Chain A
Amino acid sequence: GQQLNQSPQSMFIQEGEDVSMNCTSSSIFNTWLWYKQDPGEGPVLLIALYKAGELTSNGRLTAQFGITRKDSFLNISASIPSDVGIYFCAGQLGGSEKLVFGKGTKLTVNP
C-alpha cells in the first residue's frame, strides 16, 4: 500500500527553539493534513493544505504543500512545553476518501 515517510522519528529540543519536520512519498497527493496527538487523546487536526506550493499558518505553526505534491513540511516556531506530543502527517490520494498516515514525529520540549 501507499506509505508516507515521516522524519525525524523523534526530536528533543529546548523551549524557545524552532522545529521542523517533514513527510515524503513516492505518490502524488491532493491534500496534506497535519495532526497532533497528546497522550491518551485522539489526533487533532492542525493544518490542512490543498494546493501545491501552498503555505499555511496556524499561530506558531506553518505548513507547506510541496511543489511536487509528494511532500509536506511542518514548522513550529518558538516552541513551548505544551507543544509536546506526536505530530502526524496524512495525505489524501486523488479519487480516494482515505488518508495515508505517517508514523509520527515525537516531540519533547525541555523547559
Chain B
Amino acid sequence: DAGVIQSPRHEVTEMGQEVTLRCKPISGHDYLFWYRQTMMRGLELLIYFNNNVPIDDSGMPEDRFSAKMPNASFSTLKIQPSEPRDSAVYFCASSLWEGSTYEQYFGPGTRLTVT
C-alpha cells in the first residue's frame, strides 16, 4: 500500500516568493497533520484536519501560513510570502481514529530552503 505522499521533496525559493507544499494521505485515513521540523525546535505540529475540516491551527506560526484540505486525498500548506526563517523540513502525517488505537504515519517530508 502507498504511504503518505508529499511533493516536492525539495524546494528552494527566494524570500518573498509563495511556496506550496502538497500531501496525499493514506487512503481511508480521517486525520491529516502538518508538522515542521528544525534542529532548534524539533517536531512542531502546525495544523490538523479531521474529515477535511481544520480542527486546530494554533501551531501555525503566523498569517503567512495557510493550509487547506479540499478533499480526503489532498492537502496543501502554503507560505506567502516566504522568509528565510521558514527554512525547515515539513512533514505531513495521517492517521485513522479507531477508538482504542491511534497511530500516525509520516510522509518523507519536503525540505524547504528560503534564501
Contacts and interface: CB of A to CB of B under 8 A. Distances in A.
Interface residues of A, number: 22
Interface of B: 4, 31, 42-43, 45, 48, 50, 55-56, 91, 93, 95, 97, 100-109, 111
14 contacts: A40-B108, A40-B111, A41-B108, A42-B93, A42-B106, A48-B101, A50-B100, A50-B101, A90-B104, A97-B48, A98-B45, A99-B45, A101-B43, A103-B42
B108 A42 contact: yes
A104 interface: yes
Nearest to A88: B43
The residue in B43, B91, B95, B109 that gathers the most chain A C-beta atoms within 10 A of its C-beta is: B43
Contact of A41 (B31, B42, B109): B109
Nearest to A44: B106
